[in-house]
Amino acid sequence: MQLDEIKISKAIIESYKDKLIKALDVDVAIVGAGPAGMACGYYLAKRGKRVVIFERKLSVGGGMWGGGIMFNEIVVQEKAKKIMDEFEIKTRVYEKGYYLADSIESVSTICSKTVKAGAGIFNLLSAEDVMIRKGRICGLVLNWTAVEIANLHVDPITMKAKFVVDATGHAAEVVRIAERKSGIKLKTKTGKVMGEQSMWAEIAEDTIVRNSKEVCPGLYVCGMSANAVFGGPRMGPIFGGMLLSGKKLAEDLLK
């Protein structure tokens, strides 16, 4: 059989167009395809929700690939062991309550299962603004990351979502845009992004789950952006809290 490049090009253009048009109007739009964002997307998609995840990088996974100081192993605590099992990621016991996993297996498996569950992941797209109507965040303004890097002056497009989730990690990019651009008062103690505190894994792992919630009408946080927004401590190369945070938010949104 003969292969025709023009047909290949057409196939990709048309198929992507369909995916993109469909992604313009969804139930939940998640920004950031790190472990928390993907876990959140996974549990939502499994329950039949229309979910898209926008990731600015070429690849997903954020800081999970590199383990601790480039030693590509991660640690997961007791509480999150069940999620690892659900994703069928191999774990080894290091000591009671501490499980080790290969970081590359972990991140690729989570991503694989998330897409299979039905969440659409769009890489290479950045959220450069939000859409607000009557004080409620109801969508995102998107542009190619490459346009940003190349510093080209090109206009964005817009998509709408019933719920927007900021899973962009330390930067809490979407929440900061909403704060700066719309002057919305956040549901934090100060009404503003409070910033992440020094590392304290034990506390962080708990607060990150509690902080995975609504920040202002229509906008939610999970993963490290939860602690960045509500002022909890940062974690090290332990990833249980991340996964629990994504799962918890998914469950809240499903209600």
- Considering only residues 3-42, where is the footprint of its own copies by CB under 8 A? 3-17, 19-21, 24-25
Among 182, 187, 188, 214, binds its own copies (CB under 8 A): 182
- Site for its own copies, residues 93 to 122, rule: CB under 8 A: 94-98, 100, 102, 104-105, 107-109, 111-112, 115-116, 121-122
Segment near its own copies (CB under 8 A); pick from 40-48, 154-162, 185-193, 244-252: 154-162
In the complex, the smallest distance separating the C-beta of residue 255 from its own copies, rounded to whole angstroms, is 26
Element (H, E) at 167: none
Element (H, E) at 97: none
Segment near its own copies (CB under 8 A); pick from 42-50, 123-131, 210-218, 244-252: 123-131
- Using DSSP's 3-state secondary structure scheme, residue 56 falls into coil
Q: How distant is the alpha carbon of residue 73 from its chain centre?
A: 21
Burial class (CB in 10 A: 0-12, 13-18, 19+), 131: middle
Among 27, 81, 86, 124, binds its own copies (CB under 8 A): 124
- Site for its own copies, residues 48 to 77, rule: CB under 8 A: 58-63, 65-75, 77
Burial class (CB in 10 A: 0-12, 13-18, 19+), 10: exposed
Q: Does 44 bind its own copies (CB under 8 A)?
A: no
Helix spans in 24-102 (H): 35-46, 78-86
